[in-house]
Amino acid sequence: MSATVVIGAQWGDEGKGKIVDLLADRSDVVVRFQGGNNAGHTIVTDDETYKLHVIPSGILSPGTLCVIGNGTVVDPGGLCTEIDQLQARDIDLSGLRLSGNCHLIMPYHVMLDGAAEMKLGRFSIGTTRRGIGPCYQDKAARVGIRAQDLLDPKILVRKLEIALEAKNEVLEKLYDAPRLDPAAVAEEQLAYAERLKPFIADTSLLIDQAITGGRSVLFEGAQGTMLDIDHGTYPFVTSSNPIAGAACTGAGVGPTRISRVLGVAKAYVTRVGEGPFPTELDDAIGEQITTRGKEFGTTTGRQRRSGWLDLVALRYAVRLSGITELALTKLDVLSGFPTVRVCQEYETRDGERLREMPYHQTVFHGCRPVYTDLPGWEDDIEGCRERSALPAAARDYVDAIGDALGIPVTLIGTGQGREDVIQQPDAPPAS
């Protein structure tokens, strides 16, 4: 039995797509378990760049079952577009499955997301405006529309009528936005339903059968630990739980079925959207990292904020997800800096040193990073595939991170391409 959860250990965009694509080659099933098309997972092959939003990153590995689990929120129109785009590039989608229990992002969710952000003005969260928050809100309020509703037009129309009765009031009265006609929304969704029906399945059962049959299953997280709705930098978070435990609820598997948790972290940190970021660099070095790392959002194209590696936040991620090993991506981006810094501790406004993430937001907002400086390396390491070929300072940097976290670094990213990676012998999933 081999079930590995891959999660983002920072603020998202750690390179999960690339890592999942790599491991998918040795996996039978890849499952997305939370988030929606707020995610943008990039895979760069020899001559193509793929940007996946809700379809699992195993889709480029022929024969892999790719499951969109019940914990995700799915925009039917967005999913159809993603399917079309992949089909136009001759990608086989016969292995795609969609949980009948996942909640659907309706046009009013997208409108409400945008309107709420506008209203918040300078207090906005900087969401991707894909309707993620409003859709999860409806799920919790038990007025959501689920994929299985697409299979029964009568139920779909009735549910849309009920939902829109309230939504239209909010759209019109609170946000001065146009009302939506339930019949028109239903008609549009039913057109998507025709296309999505063949993919809808009991995905929890499929995953269980795969694990029981000794097949290798990967769970692909979206976003990152610090964007977790419970444990992240609330309210500057997403509306789901990107930590490993969510793979169980979001895919319908028990915790005893999971054997490994692979955290993915950049060799530095980026964040897109608003919210606190202790190691953020708003200087020339930050700009250099952003430019060299091509740090522009996969989904929204927004420029990402960059900073040095934050070990306090990473230690927190290891704790929250029980991370057993780390994939450290984008090490190549740090080449050429005379010194590379890692934040080992925070210093609070009162001068107290913290090794662990403070639970209170006021303390966290006042924290300043305490850095250890490590020697940098000059050589370009892009495309390096052997650890022994790395400059000694780069190896020491990786080892310092593994030592500080108490877990092995089993994968090291050295470039955008799917082959640009150093793999340690025990890289998951081990057979």
Element (H, E) at 401: helix 392-405
CA 79 to chain CA centroid, Å, is 17
Half-sphere exposure in the Cβ direction for 43 (13 Å, CA):
21
Which of residues 12, 77, 144, 278 is near ligand IMO by CB under 6 A?
12
- Kindly state the smallest distance separating residue 14's Cβ from Mg ion, in Å: 8
Residue 163's nearest CA partner among 177, 148, 143 is 143
Q: Return all residues near 137 (Cβ < 8 A) that are at least 6 apart.
A: 239
Decide: is 127 part of the binding site for ligand GDP (CB under 6 A): no
3-state SS class at 392:
helix
- Kindly state the smallest distance separating residue 251's Cβ from ligand GDP, in Å: 18
Q: Which is nearer to ligand GDP, 215 or 292 (CB)?
A: 292
Site string for ligand IMO, 103-142 (x = CB under 6 A): ----------------------xxxx-x-xx---------
Look up 310 and say whether it is catalytic: no
Decide: is 13 part of the binding site for ligand GDP (CB under 6 A): yes
Q: Out of 41, 103, 109, 231, which one is annotated catalytic? A: 41
3-state SS class at 322:
coil
Q: Site residues (CB under 5 A) for Mg ion?
A: 13, 40, 298
Residue 4's nearest CA partner among 25, 23, 22, 21 is 23
Decide: is 103 part of the binding site for ligand GDP (CB under 6 A): no
DSSP code string of 151-218 = G-HHHHHHHHHHHHHHHHHIIIIIT------HHHHHHHHHHHHHHHGGGEE-HHHHHHHHHHTT-EEE
Contacted by 128, from ligand GDP, ligand IMO, Mg ion, none: CB < 5 to 8 Å by type: ligand IMO
Q: Is the dihedral of CA 156, 159, 163, 164 positive or negative?
A: positive
Decide: is 307 part of the binding site for ligand IMO (CB under 6 A): no
Decide: is 241 part of the binding site for ligand IMO (CB under 6 A): no
Look up 109 and say whether it is catalytic: no
- Kindly state the smallest distance separating residue 17's Cβ from Mg ion, in Å: 7
Question: Active-site positions?
Answer: 13, 41
Q: Give the residues lining the site for ligand IMO (CB under 6 A).
A: 8, 12-13, 38-41, 125-128, 130, 132-133, 222-224, 227, 238-239, 272-273, 298
